[in-house]
Amino acid sequence: MSISLFISGVTGKLGKVVAEELENTESIFLAGGHASASNKNLGKPLNSILNIECKENLISDFNNIDYKIDAVLDVSSVDNFQHLTEFCLKKELPFILASTGHSEDQLSSLKKYSEDFPILIAPNLSLGINLLKQSLLPLKNNEFISKIEITETHHKEKKDSPSGTAKDLAEFIDKNLHLKVKTIVKSIRDESSVGIHEVKISLDNDELIITHNAFDRKIFAKGAIKAIEWIVAQKPGLYSMQEISF
Catalytic residue among 158, 167, 197, 212: 158
Which string of b and e fits 202-224 if b means at least 16 CB within 10 Å? Answer: beeeeeeeeebebeebebbbbbb
- Examine the residue annotation and report whether 154 is marked as an active-site residue of this protein: yes
Q: Is 158 a catalytic residue?
A: yes
3 state SS for 10-37 = CCCHHHHHHHHHHHHCCCEEEEEEECCC
CA-based nearest residue to 72, from 228, 220, 215, 182: 228
Separation of alpha carbons 98 and 12, rounded Å: 13
Query: Of the residues 34, 102, 133, 154, which is catalytic?
Result: 154
Q: Let me know the angle formed at the C-alpha of 108 by 199 and 155, rounded to the nearest 5 degrees.
A: 40
Q: Tell me the helices (H) and strands (E) count for the chain, helix number first.
A: 6, 10
Closest CA to 14 of 194, 192, 240: 194
Q: Which of 63, 62, 59, 73 is nearest to 30 (CA)?
A: 73
Q: Where are the beta strands (DSSP E) in 75-140?
A: 95-97, 118-121
In 3D space, the residue among 60, 22, 18, 55 whose CA is nearest the CA of residue 40 turns out to be: 60
Among all residues, which ones are annotated catalytic? 154, 158
